[in-house]
Structure 1
Amino acid sequence: MAVAIDKVAWVRIENGKVLCARSRGKDTCYLPGGKREEGESDVQTLVREIREELDVDLVPETVELLGVYEAQAHGRAEGTVVRMTCYTGDHEGTPTASAEVEEVLWLTHTDRDRVSPATRLVFDDLKAAGKLL
């Protein structure tokens, strides 16, 4: 599988639900995060993207790798693959929609059809691990 999109994402689970975001004008939800800028580490990218999207500060020393997921990129040509490197970590502040984010949602596995293909893989793993309702 050729990877066309390389992304980092934050996985925040509370009370059996995972934090997701929905971009303005879109109907599909995704895990917050984004693409690296030149010279950025995964953690630097994650801290910047989460600040931009959700107006919260990740605590860098608490960020831990959850896993790497690859799937068809949502809304892209068939064969376009996204590799999403997922991290957990603590934050300061209350997640709030900002920048390109229209809505912040807490989703369960029953909401699986509302998220991107790569996010579905994360949901499935979290459900199997007993972390997601």
Structure 2
Amino acid sequence: MSGTIHVAAAVVVADDGRTLVVRKRGARVFQQPGGKPDAGEDALAAVVREVAEETGIAADPGDYVPLGRFTDDAANEPGHRVVGDAFLLRVGPAEATASGEIEELRWLTAAEVPDTPLANLSRNHLIRFAWP
């Protein structure tokens, strides 16, 4: 492995039970919204900022519930590991807009997960938190 990438990610769940995944421009797999913290930024501040930038969902930091730290092979950077600080965010109606580096977003049901191309961190660790 040539490196470690630190990210903050949100498992966003709408009141209809679907969960939000995004596909970044140039990527082939979907993942939870989120991204790399800026210098001096903690994981919570990073996830609040990234979710707003990528999806237009502006939530109060107090609305995010910490889920823990998870590690897996990076989806878009071969030879790297990703370490993700994850949070759960429950929102009202399933409304979001792809913006910034996001090419596509989807609201998934549990039944759609097996047929959706997901990043390792999402499939192996995070998506399960959408449906406890």
> TM-score, with normalisation over the residues of structure 2?
0.81
Alignment of 1:52-71 (within 5 A): 52-71=53-72
Alignment of 1:89-100 (within 5 A): 89-90=89-90, 94-100=95-101
C-alpha change, 1:62 and 1:3, in structure 2 (3 Å) is: farther
Q: Tell me what 2:10 maps to.
A: 10
Count residues in correspondence: 127
Opposite residue 61 of structure 1, the aligned amino acid is G
> TM-score, with normalisation over the residues of structure 1?
0.81
Question: Hey, what's the Cα distance between the residues in 2 that align with 1:102 and 1:50?
Answer: 14
Alignment RMSD: 2.5
**Which secondary structure does the structure 2 equivalent of 1:89 belong to?**
strand
CA contact (8 A) 1:59 1:89 kept: no
Higher relative contact order (CA 8 A, sep 6+): 2
Question: Hey, what's the Cα distance between the residues in 2 that align with 1:88 and 1:53?
Answer: 16
Q: Tell me what 2:113 maps to.
A: 111
Q: Tell me what 2:32 maps to.
A: 31
**Structure 1 unpaired stretches of 5+:** none
Question: Hey, what's the Cα distance between the residues in 1 that align with 2:82 and 2:123?
Answer: 13
Question: Hey, what's the Cα distance between the residues in 1 that align with 2:65 and 2:123?
Answer: 20
Question: Hey, what's the Cα distance between the residues in 2 that align with 1:102 and 1:69?
Answer: 25
CA contact (8 A) 1:58 1:90 kept: no
C-alpha change, 1:49 and 1:104, in structure 2 (3 Å) is: same
How far 1:22 moved relative to its partner? 1.0
**Structure 2 unpaired stretches of 5+:** none
Question: Hey, what's the Cα distance between the residues in 2 that align with 1:25 and 1:41?
Answer: 27
Question: Hey, what's the Cα distance between the residues in 2 that align with 1:36 and 1:24?
Answer: 19
